[in-house]
Structure 1
Amino acid sequence: MFHPIANIEDAQTLAQAIVNTIVEPFLVLDEKFHVLAASRSFYQTFKVDPEQTHGALLYALGNGQWDIPALRLLLETIIPEKTAMDGFEVEYDFPNIGRRTMLLNARKVLYDHSSAITILLAFNDITARRVIEKEKAELLGRTEELLRQKDVLLREMEHRVANSLQIIASILLLKARSVTSEETRQHLKDAHQRVLSVAEVQRHLHTEAGLDEIDVGSYLPKLCSSLASSMVGDAQPIAVNVTAQGGRIDSQKAVSLGLIVTELVLNAIKYAFPREKAAALIQVSWETNDSDWKLTVSDNGAGKLANDVSSVGLGTAIVEALVKQLEARVDVVSDSSGTSVSVTRATFTSRIPRAA
């Protein structure tokens, strides 16, 4: 059988019991901000005496130490205009417990048959959360500063590497001019050109400094354009065309790829056209299929008649070592219509024709 609350005393007892079950510190205030009820967690958290709290003006608690400007703003300015306010943050040196960061949630209760107003006020201590957030922010700031310093050091290192490569190339060229042996001179010139090639690869990668991945579609045309402008002579004009699909690879693989392209293009420029040929062409193509890719450098030169790609020279050894690093394979087709060298990762069916 249902038994309604018999009198006001029973209702007050029930209300106080409900308030005491609330985990967060909780206050019930009248319209003049006097404390009508407080939860047990409020007394435990703020270490105040129930006898000095019940019926007292909120601002007078702790000898006036609860006269907090932010709390006054909430109760006297915001609440009269609204029936509720959530997440009002207050940072204050609270009496007895020290500095805390609190989120205040307030509700204004209106009654149908009375002009009285009751204000419900809950405190959520987020001090620990704010400390953790601050530590995370400081850690993030330190991390960003370390990354910035790393980037500065990396750029400085790249600048020094570029200067060192230029110095080495100059020394090799000077030495090549001073030796009497033609074979030694040629070896020194080859070494000089390879150092310049490494410098060229490094320079192009430097333009995208700070990126973990390189856009091959823009990287290869720039690299090949530089190689053609520096190596192709007037005696035998050679066009170097690049067809590159989109796609990005990590910078470490981009270095290996650039060096392979450099070796193959330079080899074609030096050996594919022993005699003058109209419309001489070197075609560089880059194709992708998901994680697989294929790089092809072909020419329409003399082929195996003048360019014996089966011979194991330094350039061939360099290419083979780089291809192994990329977990790819090399395929060579060379006949009277030209030479095509393909570097393929996994199985890939080419859709771009070779130079003709």
Structure 2
Amino acid sequence: MWNFIIRQMLRQWPAWASYAAALLLVGAAFAGHRVWPEMQAYPFFFYFPAVFLAAVLFNHGSGFLATALAAGLVTLQLEPRHSFWIALSRDQLAWLTFVIVSLLLAGLVEEMRKTLHGAQAAEHIARAAELQARTAEEQKDLFLREAVHRFKNDITIVVSLLRMQERRLGDSEAKAMLANTSNRVEVMARVHDRLRIGRGTAAEVNTQEFIKGLCADLQASLVDLRPVNVEVAAEPHPLPHEQAVAVGLIINEAVTNALKYAFPDDRTGTVTVSFQRRGEAFLLRVKDDGIGIDTAGVPRVGGVGRRLVHSMAQQLDGSLAVEPDEGRPGTVVTVIFPQALGRAGTSGA
């Protein structure tokens, strides 16, 4: 890091200072050659580092200047000495090779420096884009939370009004209808309470968290002290908002119906809600071990609830089946529906 900073500071020197420093590097190489008698036969050995350092620390122009000055000094040291003429052909070839290699070295260092700067600029742009994307993601999440909060407040007001009207009614059937309506509205509130921003701008619900929370609320509000247990086996998958509302309403109707009618006379039992992915589709199943459907084969789910379940299954483009539990007591409500377009193959953790 410090080496990089120092090199950047040196490259900001004015041109005359860079060239003067290159001359000093070549002068130091010349002095080193003069004070080391054993290396008098290898003058080129001392000038390569000077050329390289000039190009690395400053720029290719400094490297070219160092090459020219070094070539001149080497010429003076070859036979005949103190002359700009080189007599021996082997020395001429060595001198020419030194000049070409030094020029290529200075140019190569410059290209490497440009490549490094380009990579650093690209990294800077990538980091800026990442920061911008993270900021936008946070803003979207904040907007979603604010929208969910306001929507939840509105739903709370609606539910409160429905509960108030329910308490004022004397007709038990009308009270039950209002209570069911309140529960259905609260299901939508639970969906919005668990919304998250998924990939892109899609609002999603984690199926495991949502279904577990919904079933816990239903058991707390409907089971009371009855010996009926609600079990959940739900895989965690990101489900779009529209599908989550439909799934929540189906579970609400099926579980509520089972808790109300499948276990008369304080029977013990279990209602199991499972949600899993099967290939490119989702499988939702609500199963109880209660008294089952009636002898006419008509499911206990009836009226508005039955129509609502069928409507939600159609909205999911899925199939609905309400049938006995393979010869055993109880009823199984099964809904199979495809994943939302563009979400095939994804799952939550």
Q: So what's the TM-score if we normalise by structure 1? A: 0.59
Q: Does 1:281 align with 2:270?
A: yes
Q: Secondary structure at the match of 1:281?
A: strand
2:197 is equivalent to residue 210 of structure 1 = yes
Amino acid at match of 1:243: A
Q: How does 1:327-342 map to 2 (within 5 A)?
A: 327-334=317-324, 337-342=329-334
The one-character-per-residue Cα deviations of 1:170-215 (angstroms, maximum 9, x if unpaired) are 1110111112333322221111121222222333x24xx2335554
Alignment partners' CA distance in 2, 1:328 and 1:103: 70
Moved more, 217-226 or 112-121: 112-121
The corresponding residue for 1:221 is: 212
Superposed displacement of residue 321, structure 1? 2.2
Q: 1:134 to 1:305 in 2, by over 3 A?
A: same
- Kept after mapping to 2: 8 A contact 1:84/1:105: no
Partner residue, 1:305: 294
| Offset from partner CA, 1:92-129 (integer Å, 9 cap, x none) | xxxxxxxxxx9999799899967977454335578999
* Change beyond 3 A, Cα 1:326–1:66: same
Q: Give 1:338 shift.
A: 1.8
Cα distance in structure 2, aligned partners of 1:188 and 1:163: 19
Cα drift, residue 232 of structure 1? 1.4
Report the Cα distance in structure 1 between the residues aligned to 2:303 and 2:25, rounded to whole angstroms.
88
Tell me the distance in 1 between the aligned counterparts of 2:209 and 2:173: 38
Question: Take 1:138 and 1:83, find their aligned partners in 2: how far apart are those partners?
Answer: 34
C-alpha distance in structure 1 between counterparts of 2:19 and 2:152, whole Å: 60
Letter in 2 for 1:256: A
Is 1:231 aligned with 2:222? Answer: yes
**Structure with greater strand percent:** 1
1:66 to 2:15 alignment:
yes
The CA distance in 2 between the partners of 1:67 and 1:317, in whole Å, is 88
Moved more, 111-120 or 294-303: 111-120
Aligned-residue sequence identity (percent) comes to 25
1:159 to 149, 158, 161: 149
What is the letter of the counterpart of residue 294 of structure 2? L
Provide the C-alpha distance between the structure 2 equivalents of 1:237 and 1:345, rounded to a whole number of angstroms: 32
* 1:290 counterpart residue number: 279
Task: Find the aligned partners of 2:148 and 2:275 in 1 and give their Cα distance.
Answer: 27
Instruction: Decide whether the 8 Å contact of 1:268 with 1:282 is kept in 2.
Output: yes
Further displaced range: 282-291 or 247-256: 247-256
Deviations 1:213-271 (A, max 9, x none): 5543444333322321232111x231011223465544543333233222211121122
Q: Cα distance 1:268–1:80, how it changes in 2: closer, same or farther (>3 A)?
A: same
Q: Which consecutive unaligned segments of at least 5 residues does structure 2 have? A: 1-10, 27-47, 75-89, 339-349
1:252-292 Cα distance to aligned partner (Å, 9 max, x none): 433332332222111211222232202x2111122322212
Go from structure 1 to structure 2 and tell me whether the alpha carbon gap of 1:182 and 1:72 turns closer, same or farther (over 3 Å shift): farther
1:69–1:333: structure 2 CA closer, same or farther, 3 Å change rule? farther
Which residue matches 2:337? Answer: 345
Distance 2:60 2:224 in 1: 76
* Distance (Å, rounded) in 1 between the aligned partners of 2:19 and 2:213: 62
Q: Which has the higher helix share?
A: 2
Measure, in 1, the Cα distance between the counterparts of 2:49 and 2:157. Answer: 78
Question: Equivalences for 1:1-356 in 2 at 5 Å?
Answer: 66-67=15-16, 80=49, 118-120=102-104, 121-122=106-107, 123=110, 141-203=131-193, 205-206=194-195, 209-212=196-199, 214-234=205-225, 236-245=226-235, 247-278=237-268, 280-305=269-294, 308-309=298-299, 312-334=302-324, 337-345=329-337
1:70 Cα deviation from its structure 2 partner: 12
Tell me the distance in 2 between the aligned counterparts of 1:68 and 1:219.
70
For 2:304 and 2:19, how far apart are their aligned partners in 1?
Answer: 77
Alpha-carbon distance in structure 1 between the residues aligned to 2:234 and 2:337 = 16
Q: 2:190·2:210 contact (CA, 8 Å) conserved in 1?
A: no
